[in-house]
Amino acid sequence: MFNIFNTGSKFVEAKELVKEVYLADEKPWVVGFSGGKDSTAVVQLVFQALSELEPSLLKKKVYVISSDTQVETPLIIDKITRTLGRIQNKALAVGLPIETHKVRPKVEQTFWASIIGKGYPTPRQKFRWCTDRLKIEPANRFILDKVDQFGEVVMLLGVRDSESSTRAGVMQSHTIEGSNLMRHSTLRNAFVFAPIRSYTLDDVWEFLLQYESPWGDDNNELLQLYQDSSSECPLVVDKEIKESAGSCGNSRFGCWTCTVVNEDKALSGFINNGVDWLRPLYDFRNFLVQIREDRTKRQKHRMNGEVYLTTNLGGIDPDDLSHPRIYKSEMKHYIEENKINLASVEELDILIIDDENPDALPKRFGVGPFTMKAREEILRKLLQTQEEIRQMHDPNVELITFEELKAIRKYWHDDLQWEDRLPMIVEEETGIVYDWHQNDRPVFKEDQVTDLESLCQEEGVNLNLLKELISVEKEYSGVKVRRGLFQAFDKTLRQDFLHL
C-alpha cells in the first residue's frame, strides 16, 4: 500500500514532531481516545512515531484512555473496547510502552444514579451536567493520579484549529510561547499537545484511508460510521474545550441517552441502516425528553430544598381565573392548609401574586428534581427496555448495573423513600432476586411507615420534616462524638420546602 510518510507531506512533519516532543522530557503521555477519526489519527501517529525510535529511547509510558460513560451507543463502545484491546496487544508484541485504559464515572455519579437515584432532570443545553460528571471528571482523576505519580503529564488530544474559530482561539490562548505544548486550563502540572492541530478534515481522512492501522483495524469501517454523522463526541478533559466543542448529541459517537439535542441522529442513522434492535433505545431516549418537560413529574423545589418562583407559566393564561391566585405572603399558609407536599405533588397550578407589585405578571412554583414516583417510572421503563433488547439482540446486554441499582437504592432511602420499593421493582421487571446488603435495609417497615403517617396527621406534625430528622439521627448513630448533629438538625429545620 502507498505509504504517505514517504511523500514529504505534513504527515511526515507531524510524525517527526511527535518524536521530538516525546524525547524532549520525561513527562508521561496520556492520549485521549474516543474511537472517532481525530483521536484514531493521533494514536496511529504516536504508534508509528514510537515504532521508529530506538528501543533504548522508549523510556516513558504512553497511556491511551477512553471514556466509558456507561451510556455509550452499544455499537460504538463495543468497537472502542475491541480497538483498545488490539492496540494493547500490538504494543506488547512490538515492545512499545503503551497501556490502554477505560475511565468511568464513580458509581454514585453515573447517568442512572444521577437521574433515577437523585432525580436530576435529564440534561439540556442550559444544564449540561452530564459532560462534567461522565467524561471530564473520570478522565481528570486518571490524569491527576499520573501527576501524583510522575509530577507532570502531557495530554495528547485530537483537536484541530480548523474545527472552529472558537476552539482555535481557546488553544491559542493556552499555547506556551516557544513550546509545542499548551497549558491545561484547570489541571495542575498537566500540559496539552495537539499533534494534528494543523490538520484539515481532508488531511485526517487522507491519513486514515491511505495509511493502514498498525493494530489491524479497518479504517474504511470507521468511515462507514460517519456516513450519517458529521463528528464524534471527543474525550473531553478540559472545561474550556468542552464549551468550545458544544453538544456531541448530534454525532455518531455520543451517548444514546443524550437529551441535549432535539433528535438523536446517531441512533436514527443506525436504525435506518437496519440495526433494528437499537429502536427500543431510541424510544426510551425520546421518553426521557418527554418526562423532563412534564411538570407533574417534577418536585416543586430545587435539589437543595430551595423553593423558587418562575414567570414561565407553562402555557397557563395569566388572565384565566380558574386557577387559584394567592399573594406571595400567603404561600406558607396555603400549602399547610391544603396539606401540599412539594416533593410529591403533581398538579400545582396556583398563580403567585407579588404583594408589592400586584399588577406584575404572576408567577408559579418552579420545578426541580424528578419526583420519587417519576424515578420509579423511569427505572421500570429502563428495565423493560433492557429486557426487550435482550430478547431482540443479546441476552447479556446490561443497560444498568447492579452497583448502580444499589447506589440508587441508597439515594432513594436518603430521599425518604423508606418503603424500600427498588428490590421489588427490579424483581417485577426482570424476574431477578438480588442479594441486597443487610445494611441497606430501610429504617422502618412499610406498616410502620403507615403508622407514622397516621400519627403525624393526628398530631399535626410535618411527616417529611420528621423523616428528615430521623434520617439525620440515623446517620450519626453509633458515633461516639456526634459533632455536627445539632447543626444538621438546624439545617434540616430551615429548608424552604418544609417551611415556606
Output phi, psi for 98, to 5 deg.
Answer: -110, 130
Q: In whole angstroms, how far apart are CA 195 and each of 41, 68, 146, 208?
A: 9, 24, 21, 15
Alpha helices (runs of H) in 328-445, residue ranges in sequence order = 331-337, 372-392, 402-414, 422-430
Grid coordinates in use for 218? 479497518
Please choose, from the candidates 281, 247, 236, the residue with its C-alpha nearest in 3D space to the C-alpha of residue 124: 247
Q: Tell me the average pLDDT across 310-314.
A: 86
Beta bridge mates, 247: none
Among 116-125, 138-147, 331-340, name the one with the lowest average pLDDT: 331-340
CB 251 within 8 A of CB 231: yes
Grid coordinates in use for 294? 412534564
- For the chain, counts of helices (H) and of strands (E): 19, 10
- Band of pLDDT at residue 475, cut at 50, 70 and 90: low
Count of other CB atoms within 10 angstroms of residue 259: 25
As a whole number of angstroms, the distance between CA 364 and CA 366 comes to 6
User: Which residue is listed with cell 493494530?
Assistant: 215
Mean pLDDT, the chain, whole residue set: 83
Q: Tell me the average pLDDT across 43-67.
A: 96
29-33, 122-126, 300-304, 486-490 — most confident range? 29-33
pLDDT in tens, 170-207: 555 556 665 678 888 788 899 999 999 989 988 999 99
In terms of C-beta distances under 8 Å and separation of at least 24 residues, what long-range contacts does 470-478 make, across chains too? Answer: 470/443, 471/414, 471/416, 471/443, 474/443
- Band of pLDDT at residue 236, cut at 50, 70 and 90: very low
Residue 416: per-residue pLDDT? 72
**b/e per residue, 151-188, with b = 16+ CB within 10 A?**
eebbbbbbbbbebeeebbebbeebeeeeebbbebbebe
Instruction: Find the distance separating the first CA and the last CA of the chain, reported in whole Å.
Output: 74
H or E segment and range at residue 67: strand 62-67
Per the model's pLDDT, the better-predicted residue between 73 and 233 turns out to be 73
Three-state secondary-structure class, residue 72: strand
CB 356 within 8 A of CB 108: no
Is it the case that residue 249 has pLDDT exceeding 70? no
Q: Tell me the average pLDDT across 281-286.
A: 95
Per the model's pLDDT, the better-predicted residue between 174 and 58 turns out to be 58
CA 31, 35, 41, 43 dihedral sign is positive
* Chain Cα centroid distance, residue 12: 38
Three-state secondary-structure class, residue 46: helix
Three-state secondary-structure class, residue 376: helix
Q: In whole angstroms, how far apart are CA 55 and each of 42, 52, 113, 477, 491?
A: 21, 9, 46, 59, 62
User: Which residue is listed with cell 444544564?
Assistant: 127
H or E segment and range at residue 365: strand 364-365
Q: Which residues contact 262 (CB under 8 A, 6 or more apart)?
A: none
DSSP single-letter state for residue 154: E
Q: Is 289 exposed, middle or buried (0-12, 13-18, 19+ CB in 10 A)?
A: middle
Q: Which residues contact 251 (CB under 8 A, 6 or more apart)?
A: 229, 230, 231, 232, 233, 265, 266
Per the model's pLDDT, the better-predicted residue between 361 and 493 turns out to be 361
Count of other CB atoms within 10 angstroms of residue 394: 11
- Greatest Cα-to-Cα distance within the chain, rounded to the nearest angstrom: 87
As a whole number of angstroms, the distance between CA 266 and CA 76 comes to 10
